[in-house]
Amino acid sequence: MRSRRSISDIVAVVLLIVIAIAAAVIIYMWLSGLIGSVHTSTSATQVKLEITGASVTETTSGTYSVQATVYNPPDSPSTYITLGELEFTNGTMICSTPISTTTTIPPSGSTTIGPFTCSGPAASPGTPVEVVLVTSQGVQVSYTTSIS
């Protein structure tokens, strides 16, 4: 009877060691990002839009008309622009406006966004600005141009 009880104790110790090792491996994977990346959406990381051209015109003092041409590479999913922003090159926001047209930008295609208007502080012609577009996945893409 005594020998049977000692085998049971050995099995219990081995099981505890296996459980501890498994827990350590899971914690290591979680901390290194292997498990965390499984739960995140990959669509935002796959969007690779590029603004190939943009124009900013001050229509009246502090009101701007912004138009941009966006290229979506062949290996990027279809997306659309939800927000347009205009910033000074130092990062100061001039204006921001939601883009109400849901024009889909297909892979391997260029699409013209705008013109959309927004209002902010007046700037003189020739002032460098950044046109920032935000996709439905939250990806931001920017282009530097100057006010005409």
The partner residues of 71 in beta bridges, in order of sequence, read: 50, 110
Cβ(66)–Cβ(54) below 8 Å: yes
The whole model's pTM is what? Answer: 0.67
Give the least confident one: 32-36, 39-43, 94-98.
39-43
Distance from chain centroid for Cα 60: 33
16: DSSP letter:
H
Query: 116-145: per-residue pLDDT in tens?
Result: 888 888 888 899 999 998 888 888 888 999
Task: Tell me what the pLDDT averaged over the chain comes to.
Answer: 83
In which band, very low, low, confident or very high, does the pLDDT at 89 lie, cut at 50, 70 and 90? confident
- The CA distance from 46 to 107, in Å, is 11
Q: Is the model's pLDDT at 7 over the cut of 80?
A: no
The pLDDT value recorded for residue 75 is: 79
